[in-house]
Amino acid sequence: MSDDSRPSPTTPRAEARTAVVIPAAGRGVRLGPGAPKALRALNGTPMLIHAVRAMAASRAVSLVVVVAPPDGAAEVKSLLDAHALPERTDFLIVPGGAERQDSVKLGLDALPPDYDIVLVHDAARPLVPVDTVDAVIEAVRDGAPAVVPALPLADTVKEVEPASAAGDPEPVVATPERARLRAVQTPQGFDRATLVRAHETVTGHVTDDAGMVEQLGLTVVVVPGHEEAFKVTRPLDLVLAEAVLARRRLNDGF
Ligand code: C5P
């Protein structure tokens, strides 16, 4: 695309194009030994393909950038080629980095210029419904620099002084008021320039991209998340994910 066709800085957000970066370069050690987590199968289809389809299901998404394990870009390319994906969506594959935030940065670096809204979505959340994706995009279009889907917590949360040896009792330091807490999911949505600035300026370990935007002093807003957007982390999550897929197949009648 030529420079002339890029949105100008005054392009209304409602017309801004949306790309998704999917960091999928983690080993997923908490799932146990085996293939990188994103390449594990759920009902016979790799988790990554479910995640890519979940993003491409949104008509607002026109590009998906998959950040592959550093030595797995060719494998990811053949996976994408082997599975049916919407024709209206473009795909790019880039090799990832050592930490999640390195992988996201490499994905951002690969974005063509003509995208003003960026979503970041964990491959480990393969089943997020399209309504959640669309709600995040809409909130960014409405002007929020950063948007996260999130759910209230079922469990009360304690802050502890972590034990030096695993299994030792840990003293409780504080009990935050549960009603004010939210469990944050992905896709997280951003004004592209804001997210790029966050990745260029914020250092130190972070577990989500919105946290980096908070460190810039900007307001991050929360929209309702969805219970099916859970992160596949431990072996039991694989069982739950397959149960969700089975329920969807029943409901869809095929
Ligand atoms: O480890 P965790 O579950 O927090 O990883 C979240 C997402 O970040 C996963 O989709 C994983 O593949 C990705 N990741 C990555 N590069 C890394 C580490 C994690 O793309 N170096």
CB within 8 Å of 16: residues ≥ 6 apart: 7, 115, 116, 117, 141
* Count of Cβ atoms closer than 10 Å to residue 90 Cβ: 13
CA 37 / ligand 1 centre spacing (Å): 9
Q: What does the pLDDT look like over 164-199, one tens digit per residue?
A: 998 899 999 999 999 999 999 999 999 999 999 999
The pLDDT of residue 77: 94
205 Cβ below 6 A of ligand 1 = no
* Residue 146, CA distances (Å) to 79, 132, 198, 218 in order: 31, 15, 11, 8
CA dist 230 and 98 (Å) reads 23
Q: What does the pLDDT look like over 36-87, one tens digit per residue?
A: 788 889 999 999 999 999 999 999 999 999 999 998 899 999 999 999 999 9
Over 60: is that where the pLDDT of 3 sits?
A: no
User: Is-contact 164 182, C-beta < 8 A?
Assistant: no
23 Cβ below 6 A of ligand 1 = yes
Over 50: is that where the pLDDT of 8 sits?
A: no
Q: Which CATH superfamily is domain 13-157+172-252 in?
A: Spore Coat Polysaccharide Biosynthesis Protein SpsA; Chain A (3.90.550.10)
CB within 8 Å of 109: residues ≥ 6 apart: 94
Over 70: is that where the pLDDT of 117 sits?
A: yes
Pairing of strands 159-160, 172-174: antiparallel
Q: Which residue's CA is minimally distant from atom 11 of ligand 1?
A: 26
* Count of Cβ atoms closer than 10 Å to residue 124 Cβ: 23
25 Cβ below 6 A of ligand 1 = yes
124 Cβ below 6 A of ligand 1 = yes
The pLDDT of residue 4: 46
Q: Residue 102: name the closest of 1, 206, 6 by CA.
A: 206
Q: Residue 127: name the closest of 197, 71, 185, 85 by CA.
A: 185
- Residues listed for the chain: 254
Mean pLDDT, rounded, for 231-243: 95
Q: Which contiguous run of DSSP H or E holds residue 150?
A: strand 146-152
How high does pLDDT run on average in the chain?
A: 92
48 Cβ below 6 A of ligand 1 = no
pLDDT class for 35, splitting at 50, 70, 90?
confident
pLDDT class for 238, splitting at 50, 70, 90?
very high
Angle (nearest 5°) at CA 104 between 70 and 125: 90
The pLDDT of residue 197: 97
Q: What residue has token string 């980096």?
A: 212
Atom of ligand 1 minimally distant from the CA of 207: 4
CA dist 147 and 169 (Å) reads 37
96 Cβ below 6 A of ligand 1 = yes
The pLDDT of residue 11: 52
Over 60: is that where the pLDDT of 1 sits?
A: no
The pLDDT of residue 30: 76
Q: Which contiguous run of DSSP H or E holds residue 47?
A: helix 47-56
The pLDDT of residue 10: 47
26 Cβ below 6 A of ligand 1 = yes
CA 122 / ligand 1 centre spacing (Å): 7
50 Cβ below 6 A of ligand 1 = no
Check whether the bond before 187 is cis (ω within 30° of 0).
Answer: yes
Q: What does the pLDDT look like over 121-148, one tens digit per residue?
A: 999 999 999 999 999 999 999 999 999 9
Pairing of strands 188-191, 117-120: antiparallel
pLDDT class for 34, splitting at 50, 70, 90?
confident
pLDDT class for 6, splitting at 50, 70, 90?
very low
DSSP state of 168: S
The pLDDT of residue 29: 67
Our mutation pick for probing the ligand 1 site, out of 100, 105, 184, 238, counting the most ligand atoms within 8 A of Cβ, is 100
Token code pair at residue 159: 């802050």
